[in-house]
Amino acid sequence: MLLLYENIKLALSAIRVNKMRSFLTMLGIIIGISSVISITAIGASARAVVSKEFESFGAGYMYLMPDWRYIEEALTTDMFTFDDVEALKNRFPEDVLYATLYAQANGQVKVGRNENRVSLMGVDADYNKHNKQIEVKYGRMINRSDVDGRREHIVIDIEAARHLFNKEDAVGSVFPVSFQGRDIDFTVVGVYEIPPSIFSALDPNASYTCYLPVSVLLGRDDVSWYMEIFANENKDVVAQGTAFVNYITAIKGKEAEFYRVESAESQLGIINTVLGTLSVALGAIAAISLLVGGIGIMNIMLVSVTERTREIGVRKSLGARTRDILTQFLIEAMILSCIGGIIGTITGTAVAAAGMSLAGIQVVIQPLVIVFTVLFSAGVGMFFGLFPARKAAKLDPIEALRYE
């Protein structure tokens, strides 16, 4: 233990004597470690944000639709109807918490001199009870009488109310919308607010999303290629989706795999896989600089061995064993690498925190990644310091003492 302590003191003393050279030697390690830390932290933060978005929307959210491979041969009778929706609800009363035909359209709204694009979403009654993001601030959500009576009622975003009516409580106001060749003067029955989303932040010019009875948006056709569902989150969402597909396939009399299901859970898994793979790939590329840093450590240790040849000769003549010299230079290489790793970790964490702060995202630092990178940097120092250390340990003491 005493010998180890002395070796550490000698290593730190050698680093202090050549501060600039030691720093330049560590620079490759610092850059490599900081790159790996920052990339993995940014990737983990992005995955956490995406997961939070999906969880707030509802993990049980899914929609049924024909598989794209069969869409060209699909018939009008293969489209979903409200009877299909009711059949699914009756067959799975505990699993189908909400289901309706999916309907969406883009339109234009103009109130006085104020106008904007709007995205119209057709919903069934009490949609906000299942979409956890929606908070009705004024009035109410679309209800059963709105859907059954095909009432021209609409629930608008609070930002739309501020922009178009110059007030938040726009309940009772006329909301004229042009869409699908139709001009309808809707009556605002509710104003909702939704938390800021990273997805909406990607498009600052996004249209306002408004909700109206699905029966009004579909018109008199009452058919859709999509069925929107909120399943029971307390059960296996994937298994429920498979059961829904099998049942719809049976009642529609289609072959297996004609219909498929897409769930928020499966989409989240795909996104996490992509982000994880991207983080690993970028981290691996950044880790190449660690090899460059390791080569720098090897180079400077070889120079150090040459400069301290007489010191090595003196130590050997005083009884230092070969393994003592080997340990001394290995420890020096590892300390150089570890200090670089610590500085790189601090730098990488600061870069990730600053970047995520600018994006308005909470940074996620993985402790295991930090531990691994610091240990890896020490391993790099040991690996690339081994050759110079062995060279120093094998020096003949007599020849070393004669070295000028």
Return the pLDDT at 202.
Answer: 46
- 217 and 245 both lie in a single domain: yes
R_g of the chain computed on alpha carbons: 33
Torsion, Cα of 211, 212, 213, 215 (10° steps): -110
Per-residue pLDDT for 404 more than 60? no
Return the pLDDT at 48.
Answer: 74
Over residues 211-242, the pLDDT tens digits come to: 999 999 998 778 999 999 999 988 888 899 99
Q: Which of 264, 298, 326 is the last residue of a domain?
A: 264
- 170 and 216 both lie in a single domain: yes
Residue 50 and residue 293 in contact, taking contact as beta carbons nearer than 8 Å: no
**pLDDT band at 206, cuts 50/70/90?**
low
At 352 the three-state DSSP class reads: helix
Domain of 298 in residue numbering reads as 2-53+269-402
Residue 63 and residue 262 in contact, taking contact as beta carbons nearer than 8 Å: yes
Mean pLDDT of 76-80: 88
- 29 and 112 both lie in a single domain: no
Over residues 79-120, the pLDDT tens digits come to: 999 999 999 999 999 999 999 999 999 999 998 888 889 999
Over residues 263-295, the pLDDT tens digits come to: 776 676 777 777 777 767 766 766 676 677 777
57-85 core/surface letters (b: 16 or more CB in 10 A; e: else): bbbbbbbbbbeeeeeeeeeeebbbbbebb
Structural domain count, the chain? 2
Residue 39 and residue 283 in contact, taking contact as beta carbons nearer than 8 Å: yes
**In the chain, what percentage of residues exceed pLDDT 70?**
82
Per-residue pLDDT for 198 more than 60? no
Ordered alpha helix ranges (H), 182-321: 198-201, 214-218, 237-252, 264-307, 309-317
- 17 and 83 both lie in a single domain: no
